[in-house]
Amino acid sequence: MFRSTVTLGRLLLVCSLGSLAVLRAAFEISGDLPGSLQAESVTVVRESLEQRSSIPIATGRPTGGRLRLHVDAEPGLFKLIVGRSEAMFVAGAGQQLRIAASADGQLRLAGSPDQELFAAYEAFRTESLGRLVLPARAAIARARAEGNAAEIARLTEAEVAAYRAHRRELNDFTLAHLRGSPALYAASLRWDADYRGDELAATVREFVSAHPGLEISRAMEARIEQSHSTAIGQLAPPLSGMSPDGAVVTLAGLRGRHVLVDFWASWCAPCRIENRNYRELYRRHQPDGFEILAISVDEDGNAWRAAIAKDGASWKHISDLSGWKSPLAARYNVTALPASFLIDPEGRIVAKDLRGADLAAFLGNLRDP
């Protein structure tokens, strides 16, 4: 009996180790470094898009100017740091990545299928941003230099629309090229869940089915679940936080009113322009049952309070002053600003990113249904 127990214990240990082997894998990074980086230490960190954090997982040093680093880690998104030079990359199990460094120390990794997909995604993202969004930002800068407030407001609306189109292009690229690759996780940060959302969810399910138990599988499942929780027609997730004067404000406390949940920051120029628009709408429609709950992703409390005062934003405000690490923004799957959710008196989401004339028209119906 004792003998059987020992055998069973060994069998369970072997099975456990085998399961860990399935979950964990390794990849290698190798290549020659330029002279400026040959004496530097090397670190590989895992990037968490959810926590906005970098976790060191491997270190090493080049020998004779050449680096060969074995990294024991699950597939995912990583960053290679050599001295002050950095390079983001994606790695899958058992893949070999080569370092390609320029003489001035710029790093690039290549050689693995998943990294090539990630590099293609990043190249497309840069091109799309330059084509759709940056021209509007440049035009806003020119209008600001000329002091043309009306043109700034018009162009800001154009920039917000252009950024939405940019994110939808990234969804298209994801669905066309990244299925089944850990590069899917790298792209997930900028997904627009309201565009081809069912296809994104199916793509994540396919990945999770092929790679159960991975950290990035769990993270993408959670992102899809969060996007569903903030879909139009869903009960709005709860929100609670500290106001600038230290009082606790909750979304539940505003039940019975139409509430615009607005995510913003003092450093976000489009958000600040939107505040000016909200000011008149709030004055006019607050007596009709309209409220604004503004959630800041600022880190600087003084900047947050100063922006509220300067913009005359007399509505309700909360923030945990943790920037993009804020669980308030994560709860609503907010990764870009400005972002807003219109909540009806029963607490359901009835519209997203309603602004300008569209928001004014909706609020006009509150007075004259």
| Cα dihedral: 313, 322, 193, 212 (round 10) | -170
Identify the bridge partners of residue 79 per DSSP, sorted by sequence position. Answer: 45, 88
Residues 129 and 98 in one domain: no
The model's confidence at residue 364, banded by pLDDT at 50, 70 and 90, is confident
Are residue 137 and residue 45 in the same domain, yes or no? no
pLDDT, tens digit (0-9, with 9 covering 90-100), for 296-317:
999 999 999 999 999 999 999 9
Same domain, 204 and 275: no
Least confident of 3-12, 220-229, 296-305: 3-12
Q: pTM to 2 decimals?
A: 0.84
Residues 130 and 204 in one domain: yes
- Which tens digits make up the pLDDT trace of 177-193? 999 999 999 999 999 98
Query: Which is more confidently placed, 16 or 262?
Result: 262
Percent of the chain with pLDDT over 90: 74
Same domain, 146 and 99: no
Q: What integer is the mean pLDDT of 79-94? A: 94
- Output the pLDDT for position 17: 33
Is 313 in contact with 286 (CB distance < 8 Å)?
no
Claim to verify: residue 56 and residue 140 sit in the same structural domain:
no
Residue 143 is part of which domain span?
117-229
Q: Would you say residue 132 has pLDDT above 80?
A: yes
- Say if residues 244 and 308 touch (Cβ distance below 8 Å): yes
Domain annotation covers residue 12: no
Within a domain: 8: no
Does a structural domain hold residue 9?
A: no
Domain boundary among 91, 110, 129: 110
The pLDDT of 313-338, averaged and rounded, is 93
Q: Of 89, 110, 131, which one is at a domain's C-terminal end?
A: 110
CA separation, residue 112 to residues 23, 64, 109, 207, 367 (Å): 20, 24, 9, 18, 60
Evaluate whether residue 15 is within a structural domain. Answer: no
Inside any domain, residue 2: no
- Boundary of a domain, candidates 110, 138, 157: 110
Q: Are 166 and 138 in contact (CB under 8 A)?
A: no
Q: Residue 6 falls within a domain, yes or no?
A: no
Q: CA 326, CA 314: separation in Å to the nearest integer?
A: 23
Q: Are residues 105 and 146 part of one domain? A: no
Total of domains in the chain: 3
pLDDT of residue 102: 73
